[in-house]
Amino acid sequence: MASELIFRGQNESHQAADSYSPKPPKPWLLTLRPIRYILREQRLLCVLAGIAIATVIFALLPSGGHRHTEPISFDSSSSAFTHPMRHKYYEPAMVSGRSTGGKIPLGLKRKGLRIVVTGGAGFVGSHLVDRLISRGDSVIVVDNFFTGRKENVMHHFKNPRFEMIRHDVVEPLLLEVDQIYHLACPASPVHYKHNPVKTIKTNVVGTLNMLGLAKRVGARFLLTSTSEVYGDPLQHPQVETYWGNVNPIGVRSCYDEGKRTAETLAMDYHRGAGVEVRTRSLLSHFYILLLFSLCLQKITNKKN
């Protein structure tokens, strides 16, 4: 009997303990409930929303990949003309005061450019071709071999990055290139006086054709000019801002005026068509060095 009583009592206390009385829910749990529901039940919706947010962020953030990293290019000093519209540079990143812009990170190969060199079989042109090939560019030489020689570039014949076209720049030419180095021209007085009409035609029509190509394919253009554009200068030494003193009807004018017109055309294509152009007078750079080394050679020979 006693045990029965004890048992009943236990039963009653159990019932009291089992009776469910839910705790009042915490207020922050209430606010999270719809989010938890969406995360659990609407996974596809979440993924789509994530993609949309990421797209918006990537579209708004400035991309580092747009930085203009210029590989070795035409010298941009002094007589370099660049169109403001086409010359957009992003400021290179500065690392502890040093610019890293334009440098290619270690381990990454610089992408070679496609370059056409007119007059590339000549003296200056062939050395330029050597330099361009050695830095990894693909070069197309365009030459009519008036004074140039195949032997000057023969050592590149087996190189897949080298091509050669026998062509007169007076005739139009269509090529897909990134840069144009326009050197084709009879250069020495004997050669340019040999056929003055052809000389001025090469300088004017040839330069027009190559500038037209640069405009069409968006290539950068370099014109090799000459110190002859100063004629019989009244100022020594000639600075870049000096306009010269040229005889327009003399026997040398086919070359002098031809190169002056070529420079005018280059500037007009730059201003009018946005072509990025450079002009370089070769005498001031190369021939002075050559003269200097010849003098040095003479002096050292005399001493020996």
Q: Which residues does the annotation mark as catalytic?
A: 255
Helix, strand, coil percentages in the chain from 3-state DSSP, rounded to 5: 50, 15, 40
- Pick between residue 12 and residue 232 the one whose CB is nearest to ligand UGA: 232
Q: Judged by CB under 6 A, does residue 231 bind ligand UGA? A: no
Q: Does 122 bind ligand UGA (CB under 6 A)?
A: yes
**Backbone torsions φ then ψ of 40, nearest 5 degrees:** -80, -45
Residue 258 in the binding site for ligand UGA (CB under 6 A): no
Cis ω for the linkage preceding 189 (within 30 of 0): no
Stretch that binds ligand UGA, among 3-11, 85-93, 117-125, 294-302 (CB under 6 A): 117-125
Shortest CB 75 distance to ligand UGA, Å: 16
Q: Is 143 in the site for ligand UGA (CB under 6 A)?
A: yes
**211: contact with ligand UGA by CB under 6 A:** no
224 scored as a contact of ligand UGA (CB under 6 A): yes
Strand, helix or coil for residue 117: strand
Determine, following the binding rule CB under 6 A, whether residue 242 of this chain makes contact with ligand UGA: no
* Residue whose CB is less far from ligand UGA, 146 or 162: 146
Q: x-or-dash pattern for ligand UGA, window 261-300, by CB under 6 A?
A: ---------------------x------------------
Nearest residue to 263 via CA among 301, 232, 225? 225
What is the distance between the alpha carbons of residues 255 and 191, in angstroms, rounded to a whole number?
10
- C-alpha to C-alpha distance for 114 and 264, rounded to whole angstroms: 26
**Which one, 186 or 231, has the nearer CB to ligand UGA?**
186
Q: Does 183 bind ligand UGA (CB under 6 A)?
A: yes
147 touching ligand UGA, by CB under 6 A? yes
- E strands of the chain, at which residues? 80-81, 94-95, 98-99, 114-118, 138-143, 162-166, 179-182, 220-225, 277-281
If one asks whether residue 119 binds ligand UGA (CB under 6 A), the answer comes out as yes
What is the separation of C-alpha 296 from the centre of its chain, rounded to a whole number of angstroms?
Answer: 38
Reading the block at residue 42, the tokens are 């609407």
Please say whether the beta carbons of 270 and 279 come within 8 A. no
Among 81, 146, 221, 230, binds ligand UGA (CB under 6 A): 146
Of residues 43 and 149, the one with the C-beta less far from ligand UGA: 149
Cα separation, 177 vs 13, in Å, equals 95
- Chain residues binding ligand UGA by CB under 6 A are 118-119, 121-125, 143-148, 168-169, 183-187, 202, 224, 226, 282
